[in-house]
Structure 1
Amino acid sequence: MKTKRFLGFLLALSMIFSFVTVASAEENKAEKIGTAPSGLKVLTPAENDKYFSSLSENEKAKINEKIRSAEKVAEEHATQARTLAATKISIPGTFTMYQQTQSYYCSPAVTKSIVQYLAGSSDSQATIASKLGTTTGGTDPTKVPAYLNSKQSTVNYIYSANPSQTSLLTSLYHDVVTMDSPGSVGISNSTGANWHYATNGHHLAVNAIYDDKSKVQFADPLGGTQSGWPYYYEKTAAVTSSVTIRVIW
């Protein structure tokens, strides 16, 4: 019964004043095509359930601990008086967004960017792709947290599926503001509405969020691969939530 409650809760949650840099593709640039390449596998509810059921009790305890921490921060944030205009809060220092080197390498590129920021060094995208089991069909997002946690000790990254808008913003706010660390989301937007491109599955880093949670700043591994596709851009909370299918935070 406890396990069922845990899984239900986790799936329900399954949520400028710092410098940023961009890095060109390390090998060959991503393909320039009208619709963004899909490099993120979209898991079914059954696949998500299987992943959460496979976790050890220790892993579940760490996830619960992080969820409680994020909820506490959200409660404290909600009680603060908001009398000034919204302010963007960025992770401190320099965040380098690596351009993906293959059309299906969005997850390796985002993963490399996060590890580089937290650890100061990182594997090549090809090495990361091998570790994550990335294929031309994309990357299984449940493989990313374990890799991230094996390469740094600042943040215990976890995977949440199909987050509500509230849980998504709570998760991202916790990492960016409380942990001074980047988060990431997986999106699916087949029409391209309110976005720079259409995609059936893409991985993005998040390196800033507004203190009222009204907007999120993305760092995109597709930046620069086509005209009009920036490395960094902001989207409202509503738009962000409408396309997000999972969050790694």
Structure 2
Amino acid sequence: MKVRRDPRGFTLLEVLVAMGILSMSLTSLLTSQMASIRSARYAQIASVAPFLAESKLLDIEWELRREGWRLADQTFEGSFDEEGWPEIEYRCLVDFLELPEYSELAQAVAEAENETDGNVGMDVQDAGEQAFGVLGMVWPIVKSAIENSIRKASCTVTVPDGKVEHEFVVATFWVDPAKLDQIPQLGGEATDDGGGAGGGSVPGGGAGGGRAPSGRTPSGGIGGPIVPPSMGGGRRP
């Protein structure tokens, strides 16, 4: 008579080893998946936040151009509820660039001269003092024009991400070209009938003097080559 044997099963040790391997694999997969989710979330934040900051700066610039720039710093705070990101907050600063007075510049120059006393030639020092003296005559106009026409704007966006907060800063400068027209054309441009900047001595000449129709350099000009007499050049009597 043949005895039937039951199929052999797994031992307890084998089952425990298999469960340990499975748990380690699942943990690794779960960790990798969570890292992928965090990376995707950060990529979304890093893409959206700068654009929101730029958009808010454009809105503020448009508003200030309509109402007029103030001679003081301005701060704007809030969140992007209307844009569909209520959890993202912003804080924008429009910085009034205040330039120093001429007396402060003169004091700084005097201190610098004391530090470099004897290291600079007298001719160079005299030329620098003359140029700085000329600057003092026009500095109030230049200072006022720059302060009224240039602003530094920055916007800080705060994005919560779980227990961590990410901050993104976008900064730019605003310029109002119309207000820069307050600065006179110092050093100026001399123009005549048909002449360009720099004072052309021949009608139709450009900067620094143009070439005469005969191909010769006009008297007093510094532009254009000298044509030899054999080629029809030379100075007319």
Q: Which has the higher contact order (CA 8 A, sep 6+)?
A: 1
- TM-score with structure 2 setting the length: 0.20
More helix by share: 2
Whose Rg is larger? 2
